[in-house]
A and B are shown apart, each in its own frame.
Chain A
């Protein structure tokens, strides 16, 4: 037990129990000297939790950089990467072809995977905060169904002649789906339940239209289906650069609202009595989450489960305050999708698994395990 009681907050001293693990058997810590520290509103574990998150992402990126169909020497890969850092000069010994594989194929795919994984997990956490419901993600709000319909229309109507139209159509469809759900929900009165129900209704409607279109033009089913399952193959620096601004604006907006989401967790009425505008915050965060989701699915297709499983895992690690859940979801979501994509492209190499299949195959058992090991009953 560190006895530095009068000292200001010392991050990293895990002397305070609590957190997500429940009251535990110990209850109040025995050391009475800690009573002054206990009234202090500080987060001693924050530094450690963020350290774990950053380490996870870095390891995921390194694993992703070293694994793949082209058999690159891991040490040489590491040397080639370090060589790119300012002030570092290392000779990697990689051939020009290997360097091209690393810098033009693997790295853009890693970066895009990290961007999309972070965006999907952050958006999932944001939706969950806004709706005070840990089961909500973009698929419940018309976003995924809208993107699916947009991509289907582009593929069915334009065919393979203009592949560039698919991401644009998915992006527009995703935003239109959420806007549609929001308008329908707002017409039904205030509150989160109406909005969710409207989202489900809109999703079903859009999915029905999509099914009808596909059924009419069955030769496109294969292509639409592979888009729906999601993929990061063919990722380019150009794609990463194209989505990055959307994700930066949307992600920044969501991250800035962690405190507001914490206030919303006491309910709309009390949030209003504390001087907030719950409806305005909800609109802003939903818009930002939808923008992030739309930009992500536009380049990767529908990748399910990241938005639910990552925020849940993060809550187990760092507690339920959205001031922490949001940034941690971003970091862990990025690492999770990079690892999932690494599996997708290595397990059956040189073929690839759809990444949506991998996230669901890893995500579902992980999710069940998280739920089982969560002692606290969540309502």
Chain B
């Protein structure tokens, strides 16, 4: 599976990752890679270890194995150096209700500031740029408590982008959103990774959505990689039926990307 790693370590390369949480093995021997500007989606049933893997890559959980971002072994970096390469957005990020959008986005500049330094002109400009890029200019002075679900997701994304990372980790970026807002956020991520050559890793529970947006999928089951590769290679009827214990039919859309349709149980009689 590492055959397409032509960029010699550019992008994200994870090798032999083991993560234990409270002495319980959650992720085992996971290796995966995605090139710069690529989008890797982690899929798998509940409890498969998707979020744990993502948090370990972010350096938020102790782990064994290596995580390389653009060739740099990030497990050896100090937190501040790592935060300049990797930005992470939790599934339900904490948005302090009384903070304004611009104050919150400015927090993304933290890894670029000296310990006692305050944000300077460059930082304010970087924050203003991401606020503008994410169509939040009219919201800069709004309190976070006054935002809708879609706006909250965009604000969290803006905070991560203000970090100016090389790798963006998003845990279920669309879980709280309706279909239209989901597409809006995912289109935005897709545009950002293309225009900025930003490598993106997301967990996504919706298989069809994951297959639409990601160019590589990693299917986790019980903490191990069950399948990985292009969407059409991973999302097949046999694999999904086996891992999820679900009845599905998998068809292909016009671009050849798999579409998963759940099928109800055949009625007896």
Which residues of A approach B to under 8 Å, CB–CB? Answer: 16-18, 20, 22-23, 27-29, 35, 38-42, 256, 259, 262-263, 265-267, 269-270, 272-277, 315, 319-321, 323, 376-379
* 21 A-B pairs with C-beta separation under 8 A: A20-B98, A22-B146, A35-B138, A39-B102, A39-B128, A39-B131, A40-B140, A41-B103, A259-B110, A259-B113, A259-B119, A263-B107, A266-B94, A269-B60, A272-B60, A273-B59, A273-B86, A274-B110, A275-B79, A275-B81, A378-B97
Residue among A263, A266, A379 with the highest chain B CB neighbour number at 10 A: A266
A273 touches B143 (CB 8 A): no
Given contact pairs A263-B107, A265-B96, a sample of 12 additional A-B residue pairs in the complex whose CB atoms are under 8 Å apart = A18-B100, A23-B142, A23-B146, A38-B141, A40-B102, A41-B103, A41-B140, A42-B124, A262-B99, A269-B55, A273-B83, A321-B99
Report chain A residues within 8 Å CB of B138: 28, 35, 38
B124 touches A274 (CB 8 A): no
**Residue B93 interfacial (CB < 8 Å):** yes
Residue among B88, B132, B138 with the highest chain A CB neighbour number at 10 A: B138
Render B111-139 as a binary contact track against A, CB cut-off 8 A, 1 for contact: 10100101100001001100110000111
Among B133-178, those with CB < 8 Å from A are 137-143, 145-146, 163
Give the docked Cα–Cα distance between A90 and B139 (Å).
55
Report chain B residues within 8 Å CB of A277: 79
**Residue B90 interfacial (CB < 8 Å):** yes
| Chain A residues touching B, majority SS | loop
**Residue B40 interfacial (CB < 8 Å):** no
**Residue B56 interfacial (CB < 8 Å):** no
B59 to chain A, nearest CB (A): 8
B146 touches A41 (CB 8 A): no
A275 touches B141 (CB 8 A): no
Report chain B residues within 8 Å CB of A38: 137-138, 140-141
Residue among A16, A276, A323 with the highest chain B CB neighbour number at 10 A: A276
Report chain A residues within 8 Å CB of B107: 262-263, 266, 274
B136, closest chain A residue (CB): A39
Given A28-B138, A256-B116, A320-B99, A267–B83 Cβ distance below 8 Å?
no
B79 touches A41 (CB 8 A): no
B79 touches A18 (CB 8 A): no
The 6 tightest CB contacts between A and B, nearest first, are: A275-B83, A275-B80, A275-B111, A320-B98, A23-B146, A273-B88
